[in-house]
A and B are shown apart, each in its own frame.
Chain A
Amino acid sequence: MKAPVCRCVQAFIALLPLLSACGTIVNGTRQTVAIRSRPPGATALVLPDNLTVTTPAEVELDRVRAHTVRVELQGYCRETVHIDRVTSESTMGNVLVGGLVGHTIDASSGGGWDLKPGAVDVTLRPADGSVASFLECDRGHMPSAAH
């Protein structure tokens, strides 16, 4: 017959992952990101998720990866916004509780990351007559008319 203390240690080890990941507990694995445009009614394509919404909208994105949002409206220049993944401050809690196990879980679940910017807010500029709509035409980056 095994000692009760031994069973307690086993149970503790088995449950440790559930208790230790500070970022996952605090943040969850997904983040709500608002997508707004001026004028509203634009189509926003979120990559690599292949999620299409009409602005204004809120989308739930995985924290575990970075995202790209392409906002398009007929007659306006397309705007692309990159949502990057940066380390969340909540993962610092793993220094006190969680340790390597907590850090591993946070890193793989996405809870250890924050998506920045947390909201996409773009002002679309009218495309002039020399370029087709839906094209990016910013910062000396005029697309060729053939495209």
Chain B
Amino acid sequence: MPMRLWLALLVLLPLCACTPQMEVQVVRYPEADRADAEPSCPKVIEDGARIPSGCIDVGDVYVGDTGFSTRCHRERVLSEVHSAGCQVRANLAVARRITDPISSCYQVRARLLRCPPAEGVVE
């Protein structure tokens, strides 16, 4: 193989994995598939707020750094949490920030909850 091709391979190999996106991993619990659940998207709150009574966990989402993420500011990450909540028909998401001293990304783990419609969220 020509030397130039080898060098090109060396440069391109790392770039193949470079994505500025975040790693978004949604876990859907069996409770998410209840037939009576109506389509909904969650209100996203951060940890520390009181969770209303009567909610059930329908999933969780991890939004983290891929090692190459650049678009990972707080608003963007919470927007990913919101989208993940829509997938499992959650109406409340409680996000907890993950401490990672090496990464500069805002990373969260969020519980995705389905709460009774009448329940409000007290922040």
A interface with B by C-beta (< 8 Å) = 6, 9-10, 13-14, 16-17, 47-48, 65-66, 68, 70, 80, 82, 84-87, 89, 91-92, 100-101, 103-104, 106-108, 112, 135-136, 139-144, 147
Chain A hits for B51, CB < 8 A: 139-141
Chain B hits for A16, CB < 8 A: 10
Chain A hits for B67, CB < 8 A: 87, 91, 103-104, 106-107, 112
Are B9 and A13 interface neighbours, CB within 8 A?
yes
Are B102 and A84 interface neighbours, CB within 8 A?
no
Tell me the interface secondary structure of chain A in the complex: mixed
B interface with A by C-beta (< 8 Å) = 1, 3, 6-7, 9-10, 13-14, 16-18, 23, 25, 27, 29, 31, 50-57, 60, 62, 64-68, 98-100, 102-103, 107, 109, 111, 116
Chain A hits for B100, CB < 8 A: 86-87
Are A13 and B1 interface neighbours, CB within 8 A?
no
Are B14 and A65 interface neighbours, CB within 8 A?
no
**Which of A9, A70, A135 has a CB less than 8 Å from the CB of B3?**
A9
Would you list the 3 A-B pairs with minimal beta carbon distance, nearest first? A107-B67, A66-B62, A87-B102
